[in-house]
Every structure is written in structure tokens, then in C-alpha cells.
Amino acid sequence: MLRVRRLFLRVLGVVYLIAFVSLGVQVEGLVGSRGILPVAPFLEWVKGQVGARGYWLLPTLAWFDASDGFLRFLCFGGAALALLVVLELAPAPALFLCWAFYLSLVSVGQIFLGYQWDSLLLETGLLAVFLAPLGLRPRPGAPPSPIALWLLRFLLFRLMFGSGAVKLLSGDETWRQLSALRFHYETQPLPTPLAWWAHQLPPWFQAFSTVLMFAVELVAPFFVFAPRRLRLAACGAFLGLQALIAATGNYTFFNLLAVALALLLLDDAALPKPRKEPAPAAGLAWPRFVLWPVAGVLGLVSLAEIAGTFGLGLGPISSLDRALGPLRSVNSYGLFAVMTTSRPEIEVEGSDDGVTWRAYAFRWKAGDLERPPGFVAPHQPRLDWQMWFAALGNCQGNPWFVRFLERLLEGSPPVLGLLAQNPFPDHPPRFVRARCWDYRFTTRAERAATRHWWRREAKGLYCPVLSLRQGSR
């Protein structure tokens, strides 16, 4: 498993690098001092509510410095640490610092860093610390810890099996009737151009695809702990599923991270042989008195998480799980438990006189009917993603959205930098509002006639007219 471990750690380093850089180019607009949800007043509010407990409930280095410069340091300093992991320089301490930096960002990222792949990266990253060899330039002969390897494979099991289980446990009829994929490609947050083509496939093929997906998510996970041939088959099934997901949807670095975990089902014999393989040399490994207690705690709370998926409690173990919750490093998983069957989209508009309105253009979410869906992964445009979730609710239930509109009225440069086009380049508008539309993919005939990828129908006002001087009207 020496070469498999090296491959896994390098891929994980690449994932960390992507995650830090992707966030770094957005962090000021999202949670900076002139961003949508600034960190400093958020931490002050938490401290005012819970006092010193806030340091544990929100474990973040931003308690020492919540400035824009320090947020950038966490992002791009984390990227530098990720490069050390890729280059195999001090992998264990570099991985620990990557975890600490990313936890610091997730803890203060509020609604913008609450995605399952953020939690999955923290959990994978923490377990990888104990899989990594010790030393500044580790020798290749230090064997990986069997228990750390087992915990990472168990994480892969929980990720895949949980994703299938929540779909059935939710009671959603589209999953039970095998019709969910007839909606998924069209209604997912950020589809790719291939999603439009996948949406055109006949219903029988969508149902067949759903059966295959359930087989991968509910049956193949049990092969994670099976003999070699079944384990390799599970690896192939997981890699295939992730490739199909990545081809039709922009799910940030999630697919690459899931691939990294699946690689741990391989062994060195399954990898191509290098032209010149260095002779194994003894190296440092984690001492048992450190590894076993940590592994015992993480293993127990992992069991509590998977039990929680089925609505079961494990008494004191579940209490321990809740106590460690602020570390966000042992989690339950399961995407699209309930399939969205429509696609509401929010259009944000500004005006100088309250009569003529001009729309703000987002970089990636659906807008212009002629603009095809794009490929943006592994980068995650977090504002575009959050707009998808906001459209599923209402303005009152998304106070961050009102803050976003206020920043547009102020003409905040970091927030405007998150958008593709500012229709008011010389001065901020006096008024802003938001309208809601129902978007659908066009059919082949409609696209041939209009060249449109989308068609839309007005649903009404999402947010009333706002002005910094007059409030809403």
C-alpha cells in the first residue's frame, strides 16, 4: 500500500489546493469586511451570545484576527501547505495545518461554507494526518497504519452508502418510482452542457440509470471490506459514478475527493509499475499510544453518525459525537435526499428611477436563455450556488440575500467582483429588487428553432424594492 498511499495523499493535496485557491478568490466578497456576511461582527455576535464557549463552538484562528488580510492568509497559506503535501514535504504536519486552516475558514464561512464536501474534506484531511508518514522528507518504507486505512475506507463506505440510504429513507416518491433523474439534470444547481443532452434521454433510460446508481450506492459499499476482487470492482464502480456526475454537474472538488477515497481500495499491484522503484527504507510511523486513542474516538463517533442516518441513537457515543461536532470532522452524508422537480431562478435588478430596471449578470447560474451551461468545477462559485438554494425558499427565510442586495446598493467592489457584469459601472443604483422565474431546459426542437438552452416563465416578485434611503416599498 506504499504507492497507493502516496497517490492518495498527493490527490488529497491537490484537492486542498483547489479548495483553498477557489475560496481565496471569493473570500472578501463573501465574508470580508465589505462582503455579504462579514466575519468580524459575526464573531462579536457569537461571543456576546455564548461568551467563552464561542471559542469551542467556532474553532477558528480568526478569533485572533478577522481582517481581510488574515482571511486571505488562511486561504493562500493553506494553498502553500497543500503544495507541501503534493511535493511530499512534511506531509503529516502539513496535512494537520491544512485541516486547521480549512476548519478556521469553514467555522466563520457561515452559510457559504456549509456544504457536504467542505465537511468531507475536513474529515478526510484529519484521518489522512494519521495515514501520512512522519518526518520532513519521509522515507518510502514507513508502512501505512492499518487502522487509519480502515477508518478512511469506512468513511468511503459511509459516504456512498449514506448517499443511497437517505434517498430511500426520505420517502421521496421520485426516487422510489425511479423517476428522479428525469428531473435531476435540469434542476441541479449548476448543470453542464452535457446535462442538457442527458435530460433529453428517454424515461426508460433514466429509470435504468437510477437502478444502476442505487446499485453503486447501496450494494458496492459493502465490497469496501470484501476480498481483493470485489474491492477492486467497488473502486471501479465508484470511479465510474463520479465521472458521470462530474460530466453532467459542477460539484466543485467533491468528485475528485471521492475519487481519492476510492483509490484506497486499490493495492500496489493494481497500479502501473514505475520504471524505477526505489528500494524500501525504514521510516517513522505514528506511535500506537497516539494512534489508537484517536482512532478509537473517531471510530466510535463514526458509528454514531451512520446510526443517526437511520434515526438511531447510541447513548453516550452519540453524546460524544455531539460534543465533537464543532470540529466538523466526523459527519453524516447524503446528497439529494429529496429531488427538486422544478427550477426557480432569482433575477436581481437595479434601477436609478424605479421605472427602468437593469439585471445583474451572474457568472455561472442560469440566466441568459442563449448562454449554455458551463463547466466550472472544481472551482465553486459559492454565491451562484447559494442563489440556487435561496430560490427554493423565500426572501424572508434568507436574510443573507437582503445583505447581498444592500451591498449592491453600496456598490461594494468585493461583492460586485463575484458577478459577471455590473450594469451600473459608474455609480450604485438607487433601488434594487429581485424577481423569480421558472426555468426549464428547452427540447431539441425548441433549441433548433430558437438556439435557446433554457425557456422561462415569470413567477412573481422574490424580494420587494429596496433602497438605502427609503427601505422597502
Contact 283, 141 (CB under 8 A): yes
Tell me, what's the pLDDT at 471? Answer: 45
Q: In 3D, which of 75, 65, 89 has the Cα closest to residue 16?
A: 75
| Amino acid identity, position 388 | W
CA 279 – CA 291 distance, rounded (Å): 27
Based on the fold, state whether residues 173 and 315 are members of the same structural domain. yes
Same domain, 185 and 87: no
Distance in angstroms (rounded) separating the CA atoms of residues 86 and 12: 8
Query: Does residue 319 belong to any structural domain of this protein?
Result: yes
Predicted confidence at residue 287, as pLDDT, reads 86
| Number of residues that make up the chain | 473
Residues 98 and 174 in one domain: no
In a domain, 161, yes or no: yes
Residues 296 and 335 reside in one and the same domain:
yes
pLDDT at 281: 56
Strand partners, 350: 358, 432
Q: 238-276: b or e for each residue (b if 16 or more CB lie within 10 Å)?
A: bbebbebbbebbbbbbbbbbbbbbbbbbbeeeeeeeeee
pLDDT above 50 (res 280): yes
The pLDDT value given to residue 142: 74
Cell of 306: 451512520
Which grid cell sits at 255? 468528485
Q: Counting runs of H as helices and runs of E as strands, what totals does the chain give? A: 20, 5
CA dist 66 and 104 (Å) reads: 11
Tell me: pLDDT of 246 over 80.
yes
Q: Which of 99, 114, 129 lies at the terminal end of a domain, its last residue? A: 114
Instruction: Kindly state whether residue 405 falls inside one of the protein's structural domains.
Output: yes
Maximum CA pair distance of the chain?
76
Lowest mean pLDDT among 54-68, 139-153, 189-203: 139-153
Mean pLDDT of 288-309: 91
pLDDT of residue 441: 98
Instruction: Please indicate, yes or no, if residue 395 is contained in any of the structural domains.
Output: yes
Could you give the percent of the chain with pLDDT greater than 90?
Answer: 89
Do residues 26 and 382 lie in contact, with contact meaning Cβ atoms separated by under 8 Å? yes
Residue range 244-271: mean pLDDT, rounded: 97
Question: CA angle, 463 as apex, 22 and 425 as ends, to 5°?
Answer: 55
Q: What is the pLDDT of residues 81-114, one digit of tens each?
A: 999 999 999 999 999 999 999 999 999 999 999 9
**Within a 13 Å sphere around the CA of 355, how many CA atoms are in the beta-carbon half?**
1
* pLDDT, averaged across the chain: 94
Say whether pLDDT at 282 is over 90.
no
Give the helix/strand (H/E) hosting 349: strand 344-351
pLDDT of residue 34: 97
Per-residue pLDDT averaged across 418-441, rounded?
Answer: 97
Q: 259 — phi, psi (to 5°)?
A: -65, -45
- 108/433 Cα distance (integer angstroms): 28
Strands laid side by side in the 358-359 sheet: 358-359, 344-351, 431-441, 454-467, 471-472
pLDDT at res. 283: 63
Question: How far from chain centre, in Å, is Cα 263?
Answer: 20
Whether the pLDDT of residue 472 is over 50: the answer is no
- Looking at 341, 359, 374, the residue that finishes a domain is 341
Angle, CA 29 vertex, CA 27 and CA 30 arms, to 5°: 65
Instruction: Look up residue 36 and give its amino acid.
Output: I
> For residues 253 and 117, is the Cβ–Cβ distance under 8 A?
yes
pLDDT at 337: 92
Structural domain for 29, as ranges: 1-114
Residue 72's pLDDT is 98
Question: Does some domain include residue 123?
Answer: no
Distances (CA, A) of 459 to 385, 436, 456, 462, 464: 20, 5, 9, 9, 14
Q: What angle do CA 11, 232, 332 make, to 5 degrees?
A: 60
Domain annotation covers residue 404: yes
51 located within any domain: yes
Q: What is the pLDDT of residues 207-238, one digit of tens each?
A: 999 999 999 999 999 999 999 999 999 999 99
Residue 420 burial class via C-beta count within 10 angstroms: exposed 0-12, middle 13-18, buried 19 and up = middle
Mean pLDDT of 270-292: 77
What's the number of domains the chain is made of? 3
The cell for 349 is: 435588478
At 143, is the pLDDT very low, low, confident or very high (cuts 50, 70, 90)? confident
Residue 122: its pLDDT value, please? Answer: 98
15 and 84 assigned to the same domain: yes
Specify the amino acid at residue 79.
A
Angle at the Cα of 47 (from 43 to 50), degrees rounded to 5?
Answer: 135
pLDDT digits (tens, 9 = 90+) for 344-354: 999 999 999 99
Do 412 and 454 fall into the same domain? yes
Residue 250 falls inside a structural domain: yes
341, 356, 390 — which closes off a domain? 341
Mean pLDDT over 275-295 rounds to: 76
Centroid of chain to Cα 67: 24
300 pLDDT band (50/70/90 cuts)? very high
Beta-carbon contacts of 94 under 8 Å, excluding residues fewer than 6 positions away, are: 81, 82, 84, 85
